[in-house]
Each structure stands twice: as C-alpha cells, then as structure tokens.
Structure 1
Amino acid sequence: MPAAPDAITSPQNPRIKNLLRLQQKSSERRQQNLTIIEGYRELTIARQAGVAVHSLFVCPELASPAQQEALAGMLDRDSEWFTVSKPVFEKVAYREGSDGILALVRPPQHKLANLKLPAAPLLLVLEAVEKPGNLGAILRTADAAQADAVIVCDPRTDLYNPNAIRSSIGCIFTVPTVATTREELLAWCRQHGIRTYAAALTETAIPYTTCDFRGPTALVMGTEADGLTPELREACDQTIIIPMRGAIDSLNVSTATAILTFEAVRQRQQR
C-alpha cells in the first residue's frame, strides 16, 4: 500500500460530503456510476468477484492491522485510498459496529442479452422489489444455491443500494443481477425456452413439490405487500404455492424464495 495521505479529519471534506450524497441518493450513484461497500468481508467478496475499487477509506482506529495489510492487495493501480479519523468515519458509516473500511466501487452492469447461461439455468425473478433487505436476503439464497442469475423486473429500489449490498453480505457481486422490464423478461424467457413459475395464491396454483424444476426454470416472486401483478402472474407458465398449514396464508418473500430455490437444487442433485 502506498504512503497514506494526511487523515481526513473534517466532515466538511469534499470527499466525505460526496460519500454522504452517494449513500443517500440513488441519482448520485447512477450519475457517478459508483456505489458504497462498507466492511472488510463484503469488500473481499466483491474483489474476488472482480469488482474494481475506485477509492478506499480506512479508519486505522477501527480496522485491524491485518485487515489494513490485506487491503493493499485489493487496490488497483489507479485506486485512491484515504485514512479517516474515527469521528468522521462514524459520520459516514451506515451500520453499527463498523470495522472501519469503506470503499467506492464501480457496480457491474449486467444485461439479459449478456447473461451466459447453462443448458438448464435456474433463475430467481423478483417483481418490483422495494426493500433492500429482502433483495439482499434473496441474493444470499441465490449465492448459496448457485443460481445462475437474479432478475428484477421494474425495481423500486436501486439494485446497488448500500443497504442491499450490506444485507447481501456482498453476494450481489457473486450472482449476476439484472434490472429489466416485465415485457423484456417474458420475451427473453420465451426465446430461451425458460419455464416460468409464478408464486401466487390462485385457483389454478399447484403445490411446488409437484413441479419439475430440473429444466430451464425461472422462479417468479412478487412483493411482500401486493404479490405479483396480474399481468406477470397470468403470463407465467404455471402458478405454484407453498402449502400453508397454520393460520397465515403466506411467508416472507425471502423465506418463500429460499424454499422454492432449494427444492429446485434438491431435484437437480438427484438427476
């Protein structure tokens, strides 16, 4: 790691002000093509996935010496890095108990047309997701199950929202994640022979355990509040349910996604 510049000790420093803008405004993230990763673990996962570090901010009072040494290998030749005083770092940190490491990175730009898929892909589709925590939890499921992509139709949140990165523990960088429209998704699935399974409570829905997920499969999930839109639900090939045996009639979307995803994994392992 090169010699460090003088520590940033003022919250009025232009770089600190920019960090706060990027943290708070998706428009700034889009305009600058940057997002924020906080935490050594998350940054390590992103770097292993090939994400380039634009600039690194380290608080020596919070980051361990071993972490600081390891960070040297994460920097590209043109990366910048800065030391930050503890009071200033605590101003820009967006989680409690931060380890003193924060990076600006260029988020990947995945497109449907550029996805490299196996013969029988397993895809997770989310419609109009708006809670970064739900998106992050589903990305962790996708990583654990080695799903081939997560596709978000008409998202209501920035896919690379710092809170989504945090809740995914960096898994948004390990699984190709694409934002698209409902129409583009459906056309693309038809073009590639991908069967779409909509999770929704309808009269024609069948239990998920009766489905064959071994072929090209897209599991399509709606929002917590409203579920799938009628347009997307009716356009899917099959409607499926997770049978409920208690008083409630639905599960948290991230929990439901995990159940369906690992049923598909189970079937594929038995093939």
Structure 2
Amino acid sequence: MSKPWHTIRTMIERTATAKGRATSGYFSIEGTRLHERALRADWWPTAVLVRQSVWQNPGEREAAVLQQLATHNIPCHPIPNIEMDALTQGRQLGGLMGLLPLPQPIDLAQWLATHSAPTLLAAVEVVDPGNVGGMLRTAHALGADLLVTVGGSDPFHPRAVRTSMGSIFKLPTVSITLPELFAALQTTAVQTIGTVAEGGVLLPQLAVSTGGTAVFMGSEYWGLPAELLIRLDQRVTIPMIDGIDSFSVNAAAAIVLYELQRRK
C-alpha cells in the first residue's frame, strides 16, 4: 500500500524541471528558513514532507513551523530519513520540503499601469538557477519593484528558490518574451538600459529617467545579444580596473541597482 508521503514526494520530484513545474502548477521549497519566510509572507504550502527525525524530535524553529501549518490544516507527512536525503541530495537545511502552487501570472502591461516610475530587473537568458536566485535576492534588497525573466531564466527552479533566501515570496516576478516585454514598455516612460563590458555610458555618468528604469542583464557567457542592445535607450559600462573584462551577472546587477537606488 502506498504511504502518504509517496504521492507528495513524486509531486516534489516533478518540480525539479521546468516542464514538471509548468504541467503540475507547483514549485517546491526546502528547509526551515524558506518555510518560515513563506509563511511570514502568507505563502501557504499545499503539503509538507518532514524528515522522520525532525518529526519525532523537532527543534524550536521546526516546531513553530509545524504548529503554524497545523493551525492552517496543511497536511504534513513524515518521510524516512534516507528518502529525505535522496530528495535533498544530502543538503541539511532543516528537514522540511514543501509543495506550493505557482503564483498566478502577472499581466505586465496592467502592472506597469499601476506602478509609477518602477525599477525592473530583467534577466535575459541567465541560465544558472543560482544566478537567477541571487539576482532575485539582490533586486529585493536594492529596491527593485519587479524581476522579469526571459528565456531560460527561471526563478522557480529549486536552486533559484533556495538561493533567493525567501525573496521569491517578497518580490513579484514575471516570465515573458522579449517582444512582449518591449510591447508593454513602449507605452510607458520607463527607460531601458543594459550593461556592456565596454563602450557604454559610464555608470556614474548615466542620466536616470524620472519615469523609471528597466535594467537588462544578459547571459553569464555572452551578455546581452546585439539585436536587443540596439533597442535599448542606453548601454551602460561599469568602470573596472585593468585586466578584468567583466563582473559576474549578479555583481553587475547589484552595482547598477545600487546606483539607481542611491539616485532616488
């Protein structure tokens, strides 16, 4: 006979791929901290798996999370330690794995119509989920209003969710194509800028629009494609010392967003 945790484990395993998340309508979160921050942000799991040893002897923080889940009638299922180890690939983040429904998609044009002079961070084909999660956390910390993901950038990949450290529950995200993104932006006063390693306006000299800014960051390997760069209002170069040709994508995003925040 199938045990209660079997079905939930299978559903969580499906969330490891973009296709699995899209077809199931769920993503997963791992660890005590992410559960705490999800509940604090009023994101409630559909079900939670609990490592057997934690179920039998929860720590103070795990006990508090389980109590909150019980209060909201969220099903929690103990799972053998060896099965949890396989599910988490040995990561020891607190013995909790939750299954959450994906949020409803945001209509970007409608969102822009209700947000004055917003700051957007657009991740274009940033393929490493750790970088996407890091950019999400950076955007949240530096006052951006929205993370836009294009192509292979996926904020709900399990690694991106973990790396976001809970910012996934605080900063709205929208996944969209480039034509859709530019169509939504063209009726607004939002300035579009993108980083280039050389030849752009030096960041300290950038004239910042009063209508808001969309910051475009490209692939870790190739940067922003030429056909996109020609559509932007400004290309921006971050000054660097000699002998270095680029920043990491998350570092570059942090520097640009910090400068925009400083100018407000």
- Regarding TM over 0.5, the answer is yes
Q: How does 1:111-260 map to 2 (within 5 A)?
A: 111=106, 112-115=108-111, 117-153=114-150, 155-201=151-197, 203=199, 205-213=200-208, 215=210, 216-260=212-256
Match of 2:77 in 1: 82
For residues 128 and 165 of structure 1, what CA distance do their matches in structure 2 show? Answer: 17
CA contact (8 A) 2:132 2:154 kept: no
TM-score scaled by length of structure 2? 0.89
Change in 2 beyond 3 A, CA 1:199/1:157: closer
Paired letter, 1:248:
I
CA contact (8 A) 2:133 2:155 kept: no
Match of 1:109 in 2: 104
Change in 2 beyond 3 A, CA 1:34/1:75: farther
Match of 2:257 in 1: 261
Match of 1:47 in 2: 39
Change in 2 beyond 3 A, CA 1:100/1:267: same
TM-score scaled by length of structure 1? 0.87
- 1:30-54 alpha-carbon deviations (Å, 9 max, x no partner): 1110111001211222223332311
Q: Is 1:15 aligned to residue 11 of structure 2?
A: no
Unaligned regions of 5+ residues in structure 2, if any?
none
Paired letter, 2:27:
T
Unaligned regions of 5+ residues in structure 1, if any?
1-5
TM-superposed CA distance for 1:15, in Å, is 3.3
CA contact (8 A) 1:110 1:176 kept: no
2:46 aligned counterpart, secondary structure: strand
Aligned Cα root-mean-square deviation (Å)? 2.1
For residues 90 and 225 of structure 2, what CA distance do their matches in structure 1 show? Answer: 34
For residues 99 and 135 of structure 1, what CA distance do their matches in structure 2 show? Answer: 23
CA contact (8 A) 1:52 1:76 kept: no
Change in 2 beyond 3 A, CA 1:170/1:217: same
CA contact (8 A) 1:51 1:108 kept: no
CA contact (8 A) 1:214 1:267 kept: no
CA contact (8 A) 1:136 1:166 kept: yes
Q: Is 1:38 aligned to residue 30 of structure 2?
A: yes
Number of paired residues?
Answer: 256
Change in 2 beyond 3 A, CA 1:192/1:71: farther
Task: Report sequence identity in percent.
Answer: 28
For residues 75 and 193 of structure 1, what CA distance do their matches in structure 2 show? Answer: 47
Paired letter, 1:19:
I
For residues 119 and 105 of structure 2, what CA distance do their matches in structure 1 show? Answer: 17
CA contact (8 A) 1:7 1:85 kept: no
For residues 132 and 27 of structure 2, what CA distance do their matches in structure 1 show? Answer: 16
TM-superposed CA distance for 1:190, in Å, is 1.7
> Which deviates the most, 35-44 or 85-94?
85-94
Match of 1:69 in 2: 64
CA contact (8 A) 2:127 2:220 kept: no
